[in-house]
Chain A
Amino acid sequence: MPKVSLSHFEAALLFALFTSIVFGVVSKRTDRERVRYAAYCFAWFVAALFGLGWLMFLAHR
């Protein structure tokens, strides 16, 4: 098994991507709704990532 070394940002983005896909697939009833919900979840994950990142940056100044 190859070893990968990702940055915090890359790992969090991949986490958000995979989780959003599953949330989209299991949550809604039509394909269109699933795609929209997966994109919605992904966008919120990324927004939270940037928000918490800035919060931690400012808290440690």
Chain B
Amino acid sequence: MDSPKPKEPAPPPGVWGPAVGLAWLFPGAGHFWLRRYGRAGWLAFAIVGMYLLGLMMRGPLFHPERGPDLLTTLIQYGGFIGHLCSGLLYLLTLWLGYAQPDAPGAVHDYGAKFLVTAGLLNILAMVDAYEIAAGRKS
């Protein structure tokens, strides 16, 4: 039986910090910093495209607030965390005064999902940037 592989030590934050920080700030920027230009372009296209479509569908934004029940509170906080992971896109959206009320309709609903999913996909991009910067992936 093989002995368990020793755990690799985590690289210092100075190695991966800039790449992960840039990846959070703008989708694809971490890969661009790491000179993976093609992948950076595809990530930016997909994540920014999804976010912009969410705005064009007038998806409402989630806010960190308590709802009438636990499920609503979880959805609000979870959605807000998803938005935060979009980085500058979300901050610009707030600064430019986007305030879409939660309205009934499939398109608005899809818009909300697109806005949150863009942030969640950006988490994957940040993890990928970390792995590349740490030398665990090319």
Contacts and interface: CB of A to CB of B under 8 A. Distances in A.
Interface of A: 1-6, 8, 11-12, 14-15, 17-19, 21-23, 25-26, 29, 31
B46 A18 contact: yes
Contacts of B58: 3
Given A5-B107, A11-B110, A26-B127, A21 B56 contact: no
Interface string B96-131: 001000000011001001100100010011011000
Contacts of A1: 52, 55-56, 98
B43 A11 contact: no
Nearest to B58: A3
Interface of B: 38-39, 42-43, 45-47, 49-50, 52-53, 55-58, 98, 106-107, 110, 113-114, 117, 121, 124-125, 127-128, 137-138
Contacts of B98: 1
Contacts, number: 68
A14 B52 CA distance: 12
Nearest to B132: A26
A22 B46 contact: yes
B62 to A, nearest CB: 18
B138 A29 contact: yes
B57 A6 contact: yes
Contact of A15 (B39, B50, B124, B127): B50
B131 to A, nearest CB: 9
A15 B107 CA distance: 13
A54 B127 CA distance: 36
30 contacts: A1-B52, A1-B55, A1-B56, A1-B98, A3-B57, A4-B107, A5-B107, A6-B110, A8-B110, A11-B110, A11-B114, A12-B110, A15-B110, A18-B47, A18-B49, A19-B46, A19-B121, A21-B45, A21-B46, A22-B42, A22-B43, A22-B121, A23-B124, A25-B39, A25-B43, A25-B46, A26-B124, A26-B128, A29-B137, A31-B38
